[in-house]
Structure 1
Amino acid sequence: RPGLETVPLVRRLKRQPVTTSFPSGHSASAAAFAAGVALESPRLGAAVAPLAGAVALSRVYTGVHFPSDVLAGAALGAGAALAVRGLVPTRSQLPPPGRPRAE
């Protein structure tokens, strides 16, 4: 994890993490969620993406991750969303529902 000497006291977390910093799990989760939403609804995905970016930036801002940790986490999260898309089709990949026959 980065050294906290350069991070102002007001930006530090009350409890510092003790686990390894690579990759950032928060960034991975946020990116996976945002990518999953974007795969289902690009319009909603565009609304959620800035929030995922804010999560990633907050991890660097508070000094608990290096930028490379956050980028790796985001890449893993987006990759996970794409991998799940290969297993579970999105609405756009499903055939349209059939109409009942009118007599």
Structure 2
Amino acid sequence: MFHIVEFLETQEVEVVPALWVADDNCQWPAHYKHDDLIKDIRNEEQPEDVWEAFSVRILYTAANYKTARLKLPQAETHTDLQTAEEEDKDDLPKRKRKRL
């Protein structure tokens, strides 16, 4: 499972494995190279003791990494993705009946 979280101090939004988040804090490997970081996120690596903890707010929870990444652009503009998802369903065009 993955969360889209907002880091409260920097207001940055990122996808992280759910096991990196506990009690509104996210363990984060601050000194990783970008490619290594993405690999660890996708593989849901266990956080290490030397990782820093940052205050976060969970914006969205997804079953897999791909779904969370697809929602990420929306998370950067919306505060409540669950509500936005419900609104998207209402925006579908209605089918018109043809009169016979």
Q: Which TM-score band (shorter chain)?
A: under 0.3
- Output the TM-score relative to the length of structure 2: 0.27
Structure having the higher Rg: 1
- More helix, by proportion: 1
| Higher RCO (C-alpha under 8 Å, 6+ residues apart) | 1
